[in-house]
Each structure stands twice: as C-alpha cells, then as structure tokens.
Amino acid sequence: MLMTASLPHEATVWHTVPIDKAIELLNSDRTQGLTSEEVAERQREFGLNELEETGGRTAFIILLDQFKNVMLIMLIAVAIISGIMDLMDLRAGTVASNDIPFKDTIAILAIVFLNGLLGYMQESRAEKALAALKNLSSPKVRVNRNGKILEIDSKELVPGDIMMLEAGVQIAADGRLLDVANLQVREAALTGEAQAVNKRLNTDLDEDTPLGDRRNTVFQGTEVVNGRGTVLVTNTGMKTEIGKIATMLQSVESEPTPLQQRMDHLSKALVTGALSLVAIVIVGGVIVSGWERLRELVEVSLSMAVAVVPEGLPAVITVTLAIGTQRMVRRHALIRKLPAVETLGSVTTICSDKTGTLTQNKMVVQAIHPPSGSVQLTGQGYVPEGDFLRDGEPITVSNHREIEALMAGCLLCNDAVLQKEEGEWAILGDPTEGALVVAAAKTHIDRHLLTAELERVQEFSFSSERKRMSVIVDTAASKKDEAIAILPTRDHLTPYLLFCKGSPELVLERCDRVLIGERPQPLTDEQRQQIVEQNNQLASKGLRVLGFSYKSLEILPDANEEDQAEQGMVWLGLVDMLDAPRPEVRDAVARCRSAGIRPIMITGDHQLTARAIAEDLGIAEAGDTVITGRELEHMENAELDESVRRVCIYARVAPEHKLRIVQSLQRQGKIVAMTGDGVNDAPALKQADIGIAMGITGTDVSKEASDTVLLDDNFATIVAAVEEGRVVYTNVRRFIKYILGSNIGEVLTIAVSPLLVSGGVPLTPLQILWMNLVTDGLPALALAVEPAEPNVMARPPHDPKESIFARGLGAYMVRIGIVLAIIATSLMVFAYWYTNQPDTVGSPGRWRTMVFTTLCVAQMGHALAIRSNTQLTLELNPLSNPYVIAAVTLTTLLQLALIYVEPLRNFFGTEVLNSTELLICIGFSSLMFVWVELEKIFLRFYFRNKRS
C-alpha cells in the first residue's frame, strides 16, 4: 500500500481526477473507508481539520505602540525636564508656600497617558474573523471507517475519509463526490451565488474551472439543501478553500486610514516646528542675553513645546467620530472601527458584491412567455402582489387560458412553500421553485385548493442528468370545479395529468404540440425554432429560464417509465427569473456617480447575469467589458492595473481575485470600499480601506473582517454613510483650523515674550494645558456637530493623499495664529506697563493673568466666527448648532472661575483682575472675532468682483 507521506492531496487538482484514480491517490476504500490506524497516522502527519491562527500583537504591544507618537514623546520629554527643574527648586528651597511642586509634570504625564489609553481603546479590538471561520467549519460529520458509519467531530477528519452528506448538513471538509442523488449545495457564502448548485460526478472539467463551476466537488463551510451524497475527503484544515481564505485574512495588513495618515503628518509638522522654535529661542536668547537667562529661556521653551501640541485634538477627533457613528446608526450603518467614519467620506471607488447587496438575494419571475406572447410581472421580492402586463397594460389572467395553464404548471410541479414569518414573506424550499410559487400567487389561483384537490400520485425527480422534473396528479379525485377550471384539459379531462418543468431545450424536444388558446395544436418547426431563439435571447441576458409542458394520461405509468411518459407532451411556455435588483439601488448608483464615486461589481456569479444586473443598475453600459476570474488568473499585476481603470464588471471570481482587484485599485491611489456578505468576501473586506458587510444576510466572517455593517443590507445606505463621512471630515478640518490657529497664536506669543517683557513666561505649562484641553476642546466639540453643507454630495471626493493643510487650511491657521499673537502681545505689552505702574493697586504679575484671559476669550470669538467660511455670524441660524453658543458660554464661565475661585486660582497660578482689567481683556479679545468677520466680507466682495 502507498505510504500516507506520499499522499498528493496538497497539489492535486481534484475536480479533474476520475473517481477511481482519486480513491487510489488517497489510498482509501470506497466501501470500508479508512482504518483506525490509517486515521491516527494521517492526523499525526496532517494535523486536525481546523484553522490555524498566526500570532498577532499582544495587548501590551498595542499599548506600547501608542507612545511612539512624536507629539507624545515630546510631551514626555517636556514633563521630565519640568520635573527636573521643580526638583532643583525644591532642593534650593525656592518653591513658594502656596505652590504645588511637580503639578506641571503630573498634568502633562496624565494627558500623555490618557491620549495613549484612548488610542489603545481604538486599536485593541480583537480580530475575530478567524474565530468566525472556525465556528463556520466545526460541525459534526458522518463517516465510513472500518466499514461502519460513525458520527465524529469534524476536526477529526483526514484526507481519504469517506464522508456522508444529506439535506441540512454543513460540509466539514473539501472533497470529491463519489455518489450523488439529487444533491444540491448552497455555496453562496463561498462563491457569492444565490442559486443552489446541482452537483454531479462528471470529470470533464478544465484545471482552471472557477470554484462555482466545480460541480463534482464540495467545499468546507457550504450547506446541503437537497438530496444526498458520498464524498471522498481530499483537503482538510488550512488546505481547504476556507483555509486559503483564512491564510489570506491573516496575511492582509491593515493600512492606516487617510485621517490617521493626515494626523501623523500633522504631528510631525508640529513637532518639527516646535523644536525649530525652541532652538531659535534658546540659541537666540543666549546670544543676546548670555547664559544668565538660560533658565528663563528653558521655561519659555517648555511652554512653547506644550503650546504647540494640541493635547485635546485626539479626544475631540474620537468624540467627533463617535458622534458620526451614532448618526450613521440612525441611517442603518453600524461603524465597527471609529476611523472608518472619516474614511467613508474619502471613498473614491465602491466594489460591490452582487448577491444580496445590489440584488435582493431572492429569485423573482420577471416574465412568462406562453405561445400567445410575452407577459411581464411586477412586484417586489416574495410578496405575492403584482400585475401581469402585456404591452405595458394589465391583463386579467382568468381571461387567458394559456397563462392560467402555465401558472397551474408552476404550482403543481413544485415543492416550495410560500409562508409569512414575523410579517415577512419567505420561501421554504428551493429559491427557483419559490419564485414560481410567488408568480402564481399573483393570480387568482388558490394554491391550497389546487394542490388539495389534485393529489400528486407520482413524481419523476429532477437530476443533473435529466435536468427536468415531472409530477402526475389525479384529476378524477377532484370534487371542486374551481380546481378543474384552470387545467389546460378542462374540456377533455383525463384521469391523470403530467406536468413537466426543466431545461427548455430538453423539455421542448419531448413536445409535439403547443397550447394555443384552449386547445393543443401541432408544434411546427418554425414555432420550435422561435422558442429556441427566444430561450437563447433570454439566457444571454443572464436570466434563468425554465420550460413547461403537460400531458394527458389515461393510466398511471410505472415508476421506471419516465422517458416514455414524458414523450408527446404539449408545450406551455417559458418562464424567466432573476435575482432582482433592489429597487433603490439605481438611485444610489446615480448618487455615487454624481458624487464622483465609481461603482464596480465583483461577483462569483455568471458573467451574463452580472452584465444584466450591472447594465440595469447603471454600473455599466451596454457593450462594456466583463472580466472573468479565469481571465484575471492569467493577468500580471501591470495588465490588471490597466484593466481596472476601465472595467466595472468582474464575474466568476474567486476570493483571491477580489483581493487582487482591491489591491490594484489601491496601487492607483484609490480609496476603496468593498461590500460583501460571504466568507469569500472576507479577505477583500479586510484589505479594502472600508470593508462593508451585510448585517442581515452577511456571515459572521464577513462582519468581523469589516469596518462597517449595513443593518438593512441596502446598497443605498452606503451612499448615506459616505455623506455622513464627508460631513465628519469637513467638521474635522473646521475644528483643526480652530485648534491649531489658536495654538500657533499661543506659541508666537510665548516666543516673543522674552523680547518684549521681563519677569518670566506669560503662560505656565499648566495654563497652556487648560487652554488646549478646555478652551480649545469644548468649542471644538461643538463645531464637530455642524450640519452638512448643501453641496456635500454634489462634488467629487477630495484627493485622499491631500495634506491636512490643503485647500487653504494651512494658510488660514498661520494667518489667524499671527493675528491672535499680535492681539495677545499687544495686550501683554500694555498689561505689563499698566500693572507695573507705581500707583497701580495689586500684584505687578497680573499681566500674566491678563494675557492668559485674553487668549482664552479671543478663542471664544474665533469659535463663533469659524462656523462658516462665507456667511457672517449674524447671518447664521444660531439654532442650527446651539452647542456652539453653549460651549462658548460654559468655557467663558470656567475661565472666570480660574480667576475668581480661590482654590482654582491657587492651582493654576492666576491672580484676581479688577473690572477695568477684565474689560481690557474682553476688548482686546473681541478683535479676533472682528478680524474673522472682516475676512469674510473681504472675500465675499473679492469673489463677487472676480465673477463680474
């Protein structure tokens, strides 16, 4: 016997191998299965039939990574230097009695820790996609071992096992079929196809046959919906198709989102600028004043370093994204990862799976084609409501005998059940048969009456070889005229009637007559050719087409006389059906295009079906190229990169193909959203910038690999989510302008203070932290809920590679920072002179509190004015965002508390200001608001004159 070490299961293309050869290669036995010794040996060599997980980052490593941010590193250095200086003061005994040592150090380190914790909480979500795959692939299974049928845990399967399949079983390993009896397998989770696959034993398949067309093999994680079969297990564990998906999932590395990239760029720019200013201040100060003022220069540098870092920005961004998340939930989009909120607004391409995403995942009859002419059906999904239209006009089915007879065939030659569950119509049984039941239910025909009165007495089952199904009903037993009235032979009733449905070509070749009006007539060669051409035309549109016929019988044929019984039938007509598009998707696709977003269909379904749906929805135009997985398989990356620029439809693709398409788009700088619901979509969902899973029909695997889940499985919800993402990014830019403009003003004020006044730094690190966290933070949060601009979905997405400073934001921040610094330094010079007059009551150090107060209150005016770039504050509706008014009021009161509440005053090192000094601060602060409003007026007149 062959040694198990020589088993070729890893390399063999099993769907091309004959059954006997496959059994020989795996050293198995068709009737006895494997022995216990062989099983044990193979488990030692190949391991358990389960998915293996590669190691990821530990929680400690994730937490440690948060402190690699350059801004936090700089703050840590500032805290250490500040602590050293406080320690030197303690040893020298120069600390004031009411001062708290190390408070700056403690405050800075607390902010550093909180920022790190915030980042950790965002990144520490455990990756659960592999766990979901494991749950999907761990059922019980029946096998033949030692000639006995045993039920074992699926993880104990090994290559060479003989596995038994029956309806309802979840397949536990990949395998080659040995026997089938009407076996149908639902492979939608793996291939994306809604239609159950009829399995057969043929081996005339090419090596590169797509997964969805490998009819002689079964795959782990799929489900048997009908029939039974025997399988030779060929691959287990990580070598199965699901195992390959698990390998791809673990090999996909998450890329930073556009917002994360922009924030990283911002951090580096701020730190570089801060260090440059620190060097200039210290070196310049030493050159001008000598080493005597080194301590003062170091204090200035520390304050500048703290001022340049927007400590409150991470928290504001996180809260803003969380607010966006809540708004998206109200629009049926669940965001699993916060940065995905903003990334949605940057999306340039949406790669959508077809089944269940663009379509309803429900087979629906589109039209029927009796000999008298085609009739269209209206209605949605499985709801048994709709009209029969001929030439656009409704018709009454009871007035058309051919249609009535065809509908009777749809109901009687059928095993599916239409039922209402929790207010929703659903199909129990085969989706194709369910579509026929729904079509017939849209007529006046009472199915319960028909099936009760016309008892099925014999059946010739569907098989992959026969490609048709026939039933025989007993008409003699019927006592109800209503049941007889809809039969095609009501005037010449025989004891039995046979109804047949199946492949139009095979049904038609067994017909010699056609039902026209109320009587069968001879079927001419011309009529036969017209039916064949009509069938080919419908199939070329991607429609699933069935042919129907009937035959009158005087006696009941024997069970083995099916071929003879099905000869000489009467042709009833064709019925075409389709997994119909969602009605709202057409508008959603149009909105995508108006917003500059390109939709692409990537599906495992047949290319004709994919083309029909894509053209119907406006994703593609007639004649557009369709690329299949087989063609894509032979493309180099360069050729694929060229193709994805123009191709919008990909059909019959495998999981690795979807992944390559997404990667190709990303190589071209596109921000890609990938939608899907199946296991096969998971690697591409994880690779995409935004993975969007279906909440209702989606597998756990797809949901865990995604960033966003559509709660209503509605493609149109993606458009709503993109709109919210754009609003979020606009508001992020708005409050970044606000926060960093203020920070630049603070830095410049601190930098020039040693040149203008003596007596120390105007702001302590603790006061700066207060401004950056509270004075900046609360209004920034209010700005984060500004409503959407009217044209938010009427413009193309902004360049995903653009800097955070793009489109004038950087220039605005510098300009506002300079204006704020001029206001603050002017106040500082005046306040220093005013508080140091011999006849002035109070401490001469009050000028620092006046500078602190002026900077804080000036930022309140900035917050009020920055709500709009073009409209004056007086022109805005204050109720459109009342949070700004509330935040400005609260922050102003808190600032006054720092001056007039003694414990706060002592902690923050401020001094009491009299009413005159407070009014001076408010007067200087209001200049900030006036400046921003004047800018709007200037720009309004500038652009008006430019247009004229």
Is the pLDDT score of 479 beyond 90?
Answer: no
Query: Which pLDDT belongs to residue 842?
Result: 67
HSE-up (13 A, CA, CB side) for residue 302: 28
Is the CATH code 3.20.20.140 the one for domain 4-52+131-248?
no
Query: Which pLDDT belongs to residue 528?
Result: 95
Query: What phi-psi label fits residue 893: left (phi over 0), alpha (psi between -120 and 50 degrees) or beta?
Result: alpha
- Give 112's pLDDT tier (boundaries 50, 70, 90): confident
- Per-residue pLDDT tens digits for 860-870: 999 999 988 88
Least confident interval from 338-342, 343-347, 664-668, 898-902? 338-342
CA–CA separation, 310 and 778 (whole Å)? 13
Backbone dihedral angles phi then psi of residue 675, each to the nearest 5 degrees = -105, 150
CA–CA separation, 82 and 88 (whole Å)? 10
Cβ burial of 396 (10 Å; 0-12, 13-18, 19+) is exposed
Assigned token pair, 211: 């997964």
Which one, of 207, 225, 217, lies nearest residue 241 by Cα?
217
How many degrees, rounded to 5, is the angle at CA 647 between CA 642 and CA 653?
100
Which one, of 544, 656, 537, 666, lies nearest residue 604 by Cα?
656
CA–CA separation, 570 and 460 (whole Å)? 17
What does the chain come to in residues?
948
In this structure, the strands spanning 496-502 and 417-421 are unpaired
- Per-residue pLDDT tens digits for 777-815: 889 889 888 887 777 787 788 776 777 788 888 899 999
- Per-residue pLDDT tens digits for 385-409: 999 999 989 999 888 889 999 999 9
Query: Which pLDDT belongs to residue 717?
Result: 86
- Per-residue pLDDT tens digits for 557-609: 987 888 899 999 999 999 999 888 888 889 889 988 888 999 999 887 778 88
- Per-residue pLDDT tens digits for 190-218: 776 666 788 888 767 888 888 878 889 99
Rg (CA), the chain: 37
CA–CA separation, 616 and 600 (whole Å)? 13
Mean pLDDT of 308-332: 79
Place of tokens 């049926």: 332
Place of tokens 């694929």: 640
- Per-residue pLDDT tens digits for 116-160: 776 676 555 544 544 554 555 456 789 999 999 998 988 899 999
Answer yes or no: are the C-beta atoms of 643 and 635 closer than 8 Å.
yes
Sequence-distant (≥ 6) Cβ neighbours of residue 874 within 8 angstroms: none
Residues of the chain with pLDDT > 90, as a percent, come to 33
Mean pLDDT of 471-484: 76
- Per-residue pLDDT tens digits for 225-258: 888 899 999 999 888 888 888 777 766 666 666 7
Sequence-distant (≥ 6) Cβ neighbours of residue 442 within 8 angstroms: 377, 379, 384, 385, 386, 387, 388
- Per-residue pLDDT tens digits for 673-690: 998 777 777 888 888 989
CA–CA separation, 887 and 867 (whole Å)? 13
Sign of torsion, CA 585 586 587 591?
positive
How many degrees, rounded to 5, is the angle at CA 773 between CA 771 and CA 777?
100
Helix (H) or strand (E) holding 721: helix 715-756
Mean pLDDT of 455-481: 82
CA–CA separation, 190 and 677 (whole Å)? 10
What is the CATH number assigned to the segment(s) 281-325+722-947?
A: 1.20.1110.10
- Per-residue pLDDT tens digits for 913-923: 999 999 999 99
Query: Which pLDDT belongs to residue 374?
Result: 95
CA–CA separation, 460 and 453 (whole Å)? 20
**pLDDT averaged over the chain?**
84
Assigned token pair, 336: 């699993």
**Cβ neighbours around 236 below 10 Å, total:** 30
Is the CATH code 3.40.1110.10 the one for domain 358-581?
yes
Answer yes or no: are the C-beta atoms of 672 and 665 closer than 8 Å.
yes
CA–CA separation, 475 and 418 (whole Å)? 24
Sequence-distant (≥ 6) Cβ neighbours of residue 911 within 8 angstroms: 842, 843, 845, 846, 848, 849, 899, 905
- Give 511's pLDDT tier (boundaries 50, 70, 90): very high
Sign of torsion, CA 358 360 365 367?
negative
CA–CA separation, 318 and 932 (whole Å)? 27
CA–CA separation, 820 and 831 (whole Å)? 16
- Give 107's pLDDT tier (boundaries 50, 70, 90): confident
Sequence-distant (≥ 6) Cβ neighbours of residue 547 within 8 angstroms: 501, 502, 503, 504, 505, 506, 507, 508, 531, 535, 571, 573, 574
Q: Where are the domains of the chain?
A: 4-52+131-248, 281-325+722-947, 358-581
CA–CA separation, 913 and 850 (whole Å)? 8
Of 86, 104, 174, 353, catalytic: 353
Backbone dihedral angles phi then psi of residue 410, each to the nearest 5 degrees = -65, -35
**Cβ neighbours around 315 below 10 Å, total:** 18
Helices 294-308 and 715-756: angle between axes, nearest 10 degrees: 160
Residues of the chain with pLDDT > 70, as a percent, come to 91
Answer yes or no: are the C-beta atoms of 566 and 510 closer than 8 Å.
yes
CA–CA separation, 451 and 428 (whole Å)? 16
Helices 70-92 and 103-123: angle between axes, nearest 10 degrees: 160
In this structure, the strands spanning 598-602 and 223-235 are unpaired
Mean pLDDT of 509-514: 95
Query: Which pLDDT belongs to residue 1?
Result: 37
CA–CA separation, 172 and 155 (whole Å)? 8
Most confident range (mean pLDDT) of 44-53, 351-360, 886-895 is 886-895
DSSP class of residue 580 equals E
Is the pLDDT score of 365 beyond 90?
Answer: yes
Is 576 a residue of the active site?
Answer: no
- Per-residue pLDDT tens digits for 91-102: 877 665 556 677
Sequence-distant (≥ 6) Cβ neighbours of residue 904 within 8 angstroms: 897, 898, 910
Sequence-distant (≥ 6) Cβ neighbours of residue 620 within 8 angstroms: 601, 611, 614, 648, 649
